[in-house]
Amino acid sequence: MQYRGDNLMSVKRTNRSAAMRILHRSGAMSRKRLAENMGLTPAAITKIVGEMIAEGLLSEGEMLQTGGAGRREILIDLNPDAGIALGVLINTGQVLLSAVRLDGQVLFSEEITIAPQADADRLLPHIVSRLTELTEQNRIDEEKIIGLGIAVRGICSADGELVVNSFGALQQENYPLRARLEKATGFHCVMANNVRALFAAEMFFSREEDGGSQFFLRCEYGIGAALSIEGKIWHGVTEQCAEIGHIPVIRRGGKPCSCGKSGCLETIASPGAIREDALAVLSPTETPNLWKIKEKKGREELSLSDIFSAAQNGDAAVGEIVDRAAEALASALKSVIYLVDPGRIVLYGRMFDEPYYLSRLIAEMQEGVDSGHAVEVKKSAWNQQLEKKAAGLVAVEEFFNQGGIR
Ligand SMILES: [Zn+2]
């Protein structure tokens, strides 16, 4: 470990950053309470807050009546309009462009369909020009833009520069996406893995004082996850924490996976895999309920909801597929419980909005876990709502870390 000193600028950033985090987490408060929270003298707080008010980052608001003498204290708060972050989220076949305020409120978002294995060199100019158009159409003041957050599927390099492998979203490997977008837009860019960005957004909105140790599981295109230890997201030595979707579960004859292997958890337990497996057994005799729905809306339109409803109504073959998927996922999560002993497992993705599936999963999760574990398993309070916010919040987080100094 290398030990380094702090210069005055870094102390200033640290103090301003702490003030922003406390106000974001706890809401408006007096200078006095902020000083107590930060362990600084009232004089130091007055100086810090004064500067930040002058810059427009903080605002003075309501008066707070304190004490018997009727002394009044002014509350200070973060000004959510003080900055705007742009966001680019890249998944396989999809790019989501967005802009958020400092409190994560979405100012615009637009989904663009792209080809799988997209050529990044050709995709980038398209992203940049559309983002510029959206910024103009939504009358966003360029002066207010604090940066651009990038959230991308797959493995990013530890320094946040390269998309090492996006597992089918982009054609290129080891692509310097951050620097290319920074050069093309002129905005400061920060890049993160998409699941970690969603998890960071979840923590941003939950405003919990102590993030504790949590495991965030996201099932959408595939199965992704992220782990926090004492409030900090853990990356792992090769930036692959926590890719539980690629734990091998079928030893021989498993289906090919997007990662290049076969038989991964994702190939039997992801929403895509459940749908594929259910369609493979679709027949008027074996799966009469699902068949009836197919006759009405067409094979291509069969959704995960239709599959769960067919299983619930007695299609045994479909029920087996769903049970096998829930069992495999629960088994992986039980390993997490025993290995990490997290305080909470957060479930994120549309399949967790399906009561039938969720009850199967929770039942499997309880099987064989002793009562000594205090893990809370719950669906995200912002389920399916964080995609539009996550990429922009990557830049907002960086802005908070820098104490709002651009
Ligand atoms: Zn895999």
- pLDDT tens digit string along 161-206? 999 999 899 999 999 999 999 999 999 999 999 999 999 999 999 9
Whether residue 1 is contained in a domain is answered as no
Taking the centre of ligand 1 as the mean of its atom positions, its distance from the CA of residue 374, in whole angstroms, is 30
Average pLDDT in the 51-78 region?
83
Domain range enclosing 44: 8-78
| Ligand 1 centroid to residue 169 C-alpha, Å | 14
Whether 214 and 193 share a structural domain: no
Domain match, 252 and 176 both: no
Residue 208, pLDDT score: 86
Distance 268 CA to ligand 1 centre (A): 11
Q: Are residues 280 and 396 in the same domain?
A: no
pLDDT digits (tens, 9 = 90+) for 33-59: 999 999 999 999 999 999 999 999 999
Mean pLDDT (the chain) is 94
Q: Are residues 348 and 279 in the same domain?
A: yes
Q: What is the rounded CA–CA span in Å between residue 299 and residue 211?
A: 44
151 and 253 belong to one structural domain? no
Q: What is the CATH number of the domain that holds 229?
A: 3.30.420.40
Q: Do 172 and 301 have their domain in common?
A: no
Q: Which DSSP helix (H) or strand (E) runs through 61?
A: strand 58-66
Does any domain span residue 3?
A: no
> How many Å lie between the centroid of ligand 1 and the Cα of residue 209?
35
Of 28, 58, 78, at which residue does a domain stop? 78
* Ligand 1: centre distance to CA 152 (Å): 17
CA 257 to ligand 1 centroid distance, Å:
5
Its pTM stands at 0.94
**Measured in angstroms, how far is the CA atom of residue 355 from the centroid of ligand 1?**
27
**Run of H or E residues at 192:** strand 189-193
53: domain CATH number is 1.10.10.10
| Rounded Cα distance, 58 and 49, in Å | 7
| pLDDT recorded at residue 192 | 97
What total of structural domains would you count in the chain? Answer: 3
Assigned domain for 406 exists: no
Cα 275 from Cα 100, distance rounded (Å) = 34
Tokens linked to 392:
């922009």
Domain annotation covers residue 299: yes
What is the pLDDT confidence band of residue 70, given thresholds at 50, 70 and 90? low
Cα(252) to ligand 1 centroid in Å equals 14
pLDDT given at position 406: 84
Residue 329 CA to ligand 1 centre (angstroms): 14
* Domain end among 78, 99, 125: 78
In this structure, is residue 251 part of a structural domain?
A: yes
Tell me: do 70 and 131 sit in the same domain.
Answer: no
